[in-house]
Each structure stands twice: as structure tokens, then as C-alpha cells.
Amino acid sequence: MIIDGQAEFRTLLMHHVTTHWPEAIIRAYDPTSAGHLPAEFSGAGNDVILLGDQLGDRQGPDVLRQFSKVRGFPPVVYFGARDEESAAIRAGAAGFFLRDGLRHDGFIVRLSDILVQRRSVASTAALFVGDERTGIHPLIRGYNFIRKLSTSSHSAIYLAERVSNGQEVVLKVLRQVPDVIDSIGAFDRFLQEYELIAEIDHPNIVRIFDLGVGDDHAHIAMEYLGGGDLRQRIAAGLGEEEAIRFLRQIASALGEIHEVGILHRDLKPGNIMLRSDDSIALIDFGLAKRMRLQMEITDEGEIFGTPYYMSPEQGHGTGIDHRSDIYSLGVIFYEMLTGEKPFRADTAMGIIYKHAHASVPSLPSDLAQHEALLNKMLAKLPEDRLQSASEVEQWL
């Protein structure tokens, strides 16, 4: 969890973490707009708290002392000015870094040490499969465990076999900690993710087979996509025709979810999988939301997604609509054609700046026929872009 009053700094910390731990789930909190966390805040459900010194009318050491009084509170890493270091450590900080001039390697090494020390009590340590010989969570019936695919702070993902028909499925399981507000919010987001996908029947969107809910967990069973992800295919090299074919399929999937009022908001090659027949399937709607609903989990202006694929408006925390997904698709198309991302920088904030201000790089001469389409997808202003996913097909 990241707590700080400056959106740019929260984003910077988020991408320091996700660069090293791509599967990390991060919740950001702005005390200057959402109010100070109450004294009963326990930090439960978090493996570590990253606390900045921009806390409105409260001083960082005072907040640290509040946290330190709570039994079992997760370790807190503090970011402030040089003259705050000794006070922060005395107040209970597990680590201290200068807010200005944060270096990635030193930060990651220290954070890794903290997480290793905490491993015995961390939320990820208790997830579901303690003894892999015994199978998945004992309350989940009807599946045989094959192997664990990944684990995050609230959920675990397995390859499993349905006992009824022997079909291989991906089983995503969420652990709920009773009476913990953050856990309940994650539980609700997990169920919302299922509801969003389950409404859709489209050849380029992952198929959902089953939902199960228990007292302390929920699970989703979805199709197993054995062809790897688009990130791997891009790294191996794509031909022009293959890139166009994939673009059509992704655009078709986006058109379907936009039609029912869903934004994806985290469109990137790692969230686009391939089946064994080489067809595309869009996955991971964990950041999706209905355009017609208010944001229930985060404050207005929170930044999500991956900076390489963020639209200018998303990177700056302003309002977004379906045209933000169109921009992300344009970034992916450029990368499929060239094998390179259109905008790179040394920092996450540098990438976000380039999305908003830098010109789209020119394509090689043999691909120049696609520049008009790319420029329409990657326009800085939403009103200057293609206005729907169906227009991508029209341009092609």
C-alpha cells in the first residue's frame, strides 16, 4: 500500500515496485483528499506500507507512531527529507529513503530484505496451497491441482483439472480475511471481475466456466490458454500480416466490452493471451470498470495500468473513457509492427510525460502505410483519436 498526497510520487513508487515484481497488487491512498487513516487502521492484507511525507497537516513521524502502536502492523518504509531519517527510524520505520533522488536498485534490495523477513506472516505465504500434494484450498471441490501459476497479495492462480470431465482450466482463487475492510474490498473487486466477463460471449475474450463463493474465499474457473501471451510473441518477432490479424481480433474484443459499458484500463501484451489455434483472447479485467458506475474502490484521479501503454489522460490521472483503450491498442500495434515500444524513458514519469508530449515515432518505410492509422489511435487528445474500436477495422 502506498500512502502519499502527491499522485506523481505514488505513481513513481508503484512502477519501481512493479518493474521488479510485475504481479504485485498495489493500493494507493491519498490522505490529502481522502482524509487521514483512522486510528483503528490495521494495515491488514498488506505485506508492506510505503509512506511518503506528503500527508497534509500531519507529520510523517506522527503517522509512523500511530502505525507502530497497532499490533501486527506490516513494516513501513518511509520517504522523506534527509533531516527526517532519525525521527522516522525512532518512530518505527523499517526503512528510510530520500524522497528526492530515490535509486531503484537500493530501494528494491531493501524492500526485498523486508519482505523476506516478513515471509512467515505475509499474506502471500498463507495462500491456499501449503502442501501441494494435498491440492487446492480444501473448501474448493471438483478440481485436481496441477501446478501453481502465480500468487499475489490477495489471490492465487492455478492450473487445475475439472474432475467431472478432465478439462484443464485456470483457477483463480481469492482469499478473504474476515472482518478486514481491505480484504472485503478485494473480495468485491474479484466478484465484479467475474460478473464483467461472464456477461460476454465473444471468441476473443476468455471464457468463464464457473464461479464459487465460500465463507473465506471465492474462485473463478476459466479456460486455459496454452499459447502463451502476446508479449512473448512480440519478443519472438511478428510479421506484418500477423500483427494486423491480432490487431483486428483485439479491436473486436474491445468493441464488445465497450458496447456493454466496460473499460479495460490495463490493456497490454501481457493481458492478451493466445490459444493453441493462434487466436487472441483478452484476459485480466481486474482493472476494468463499468463506465456507468462511480469508482467505488479508489478516489477520483487514481492512476492504474502500465505506463508504456497508458493514454495521456490515464497517466495524468484525469477522467478516461473507451478512447483510452484505443490509445493503448495503438501502442500495442506499434510494438507488434516494430518490436519496440514507441515511448521509452529512464523513469515511469518520463514515459508518462512522453505519452502526453512526444511525437509518435515514424515507422520504417516498408510499414509506412500504417502511420495514418497509428496517428489516429495515438492522438494526444481523445477527441482526435478514432472514436470506437470498430473504426480500427474500417481503417484497416
Tell me, what's the pLDDT at 300? 39
Tell me, what's the pLDDT at 138? 57
Query: Which of 294, 301, 287 is closest to 29 using CA atoms?
Result: 301
Identify the DSSP state of 363.
Answer: P
In angstroms, the Cα distances linking 376 to 164, 253, 360, 385, 389 are 49, 19, 11, 5, 12
Which three cell numbers mark 118?
A: 516478513
User: Does the predicted TM-score (pTM) go above 0.75?
Assistant: no
Cell numbers 522523506 correspond to 80
The residues, ordered by sequence, that sit 6+ positions from 147 with a Cβ below 8 Å of its Cβ are 132, 158, 159
Count of alpha carbons within 13 Å of 185, Cβ hemisphere only?
11
Tell me, what's the pLDDT at 303? 43
Q: 120: buried, middle or exposed (CB in 10 Å: 19+, 13-18, 0-12)?
A: exposed
**What φ, ψ does residue 182 adopt, rounded to 5°?**
-65, -40
In angstroms, the Cα distances linking 15 to 351, 353, 358, 380 are 11, 14, 21, 22
- Domains of the chain (ranges; CATH) run 2-122 (3.40.50.2300), 127-223 (3.30.200.20), 230-395 (1.10.510.10)
Q: 72: buried, middle or exposed (CB in 10 Å: 19+, 13-18, 0-12)?
A: exposed
- Cα separation, 263 vs 204, whole angstroms: 16
266 counts as catalytic: yes
Ranges of the chain with pLDDT below 50: 120-134, 177-184, 292-305
Please spell the DSSP secondary structure of 243-257, one letter per residue: HHHHHHHHHHHHHHH
Encode pLDDT of 268-295 as tens digits: 998 899 999 999 999 877 555 555 333 3
Pick the catalytic residue: 30, 47, 182, 266? 266
3 state SS of 259: helix
